[in-house]
Amino acid sequence: MFIPHKKSLIRQLTSAVILLLLSMQTAAVFAQDDEGEIVLTSTPAKKDAIFGANSSIVYSVNLENKFDSKQTGTVGYRVLTLADKEVTKNAVNVSISKKSSKSLTLRIPEQAAGFYKVQFTVNFPEYDDTVRRVFGVDPTQIKSENSKPADFDSFWEKTLEELSKVEPNFKVEELPDSSRDNRRVFSIEMKSLGNLTVRGWMTLPNTKNSRKKFPVLLGLPGYQVDLKPMFGTDEDLAIVVLNVRGQGNSRDRIRTLRDDYIFTGLEDKNRYIMRGAIMDCVRMVDFIFSREELDHDNIMVSGGSMGGFLSIATASLDHRIKLCSAQNPILCDVKALPGKVVWPLRDFSRYIRVNRGLTMDKLLDNLSYFDTKNFATNIKCPTIMGIGLLDHLAPPDNEYTAFNNLQVKKHMIVFRDLGHEVAVFYKDYEGRWMRDTFALF
């Protein structure tokens, strides 16, 4: 067995220690470099990042240098359409002392009415980064290039007539074991278009006043969302929620995969799943009118995403609705979606591949009968909408084609830094608006 010389062993250990120390020092250097960054914060001159026509688009940009050394580089912007076509760009040189901040103003040339992506970039020898935002210019002037089908109204009149021939057979059962917040819980079951069974829930405040009639908040579901009974401390409001066919507890005959729901039956507009889903919503309004304890003159419909789409469609087809609230409604200006969004176009393309003879143009033609902007033209009640400018499913310019088609008292709430969502502020505003309109003081 080989036994190393004592001095040799010491030299080996010393070398190992030196290498370990060097590696630790090197790691420390890299760690120190990793800690450095330049933080860019952009703030539009207009609170909602909505600018007027014939005006510059102005952003205040703040740079925070977290390096322990002076940094010299460039800060710039790149503006694109929502379909990613470059419009303009520019950059300026900037130096920032170590551990310090600097602010500057970037002015983007005026643009035509619409929405635009803007990429704010920092390029320094030791650090690069990009912050992505969206701004709008005079969006109330946005109009769709895609017209409403000539037989749109007659298509839906025939659909409503078909629904009217289906006996609803309403079934209501109180579930006392599920009650809370001083509210009673009821399950709802009914027959809708095609004689399909759909279900929902109703919660009512406890009251000793047998003549009390409660205004109604009708909540409609998002995509593949299973709505449950909704509670709260409101003592003078009924809350009714619906699970449309193929969702939640309404999956008796339609049990699609999540990704398949959006195109089910779309090769034929008379068989498209949304045709029945919208009629499910109308049938729930029928239910509300069948109940003596509910105030038939004060119904608000509300929902987000697919629920926003269903809210606008329901208020359009059923003028018994008094208020409409739609957050990030999908399927706005559907023929203008290609090139802007991945979903639902990706699933449509998958559907086309397994259905010979079907084309994207055919699907979009059929989908025009379910286009949110086309429903909007027939709404008769006051309506509010909320959108996020960074929404990758419901682009803001598409949303505005629906909003601009509303010919009623309306209000848009824009969240410049949000995607497919709204902030708590929207729900607070919605609640105050509803209570003021329904005189719930």
Res 210: pLDDT: 82
Contact indicator for 73, 94 with CB cutoff of 8 Å: yes
Nearest Cα residue to 412 out of 146, 219, 147, 142: 142
Q: How far apart are CA 305 and CA 367, in angstroms?
A: 16
Cβ atoms of 283 and 192 closer than 8 Å: yes
Q: How far apart are CA 120 and CA 59, in angstroms?
A: 10
pTM of the shown model: 0.89
Structure tokens at 89: 């760009």
For every residue of 341-361, DSSP letters joined together read -STTHHHHHHHHHTSTT--HH
Under a CB-based contact definition with an 8 Å cutoff, are residues 201 and 268 in contact? no
pLDDT value for 209: 86
Contacts of 5 (CB under 8 A, 6+ apart): none
Please report the pLDDT score of residue 155 as a whole number.
Answer: 98
pLDDT tens-digit series, residues 207-257: 888 889 999 999 999 999 999 999 988 889 999 999 999 999 999 988 888
pLDDT confidence of residue 17: 36
| DSSP summary character for residue 148 | P
**What domains sit in the chain, N to C, each tagged with a CATH number?**
38-141 (2.60.40.10), 152-437 (3.40.50.1820)
Q: CB–CB of 263/363 below 8 Å?
A: yes
Per-residue model confidence (pLDDT) at position 12: 40
pLDDT along the chain (441 residues), means of 10: 38 37 36 68 96 93 94 96 96 94 95 96 92 97 96 98 98 94 96 98 92 96 96 91 97 90 95 98 98 97 98 98 98 96 94 91 97 98 98 97 98 97 96 95 78
User: Which parts of 368-418 fold into alpha helices (H)?
Assistant: 372-376, 396-405
Question: For residue 154, how far is the Cα from the chain centroid?
Answer: 30
Bridge-based pairing of strands 57-65 and 38-44 is: antiparallel
pLDDT reported for residue 255: 86
How do residues 300-333 score in pLDDT, each as one tens digit? 999 999 999 999 999 999 999 999 999 999 999 9
Measured in degrees and rounded to the nearest 5, phi and psi for residue 412 equal -110, 135
Q: Return the pLDDT at 257.
A: 87
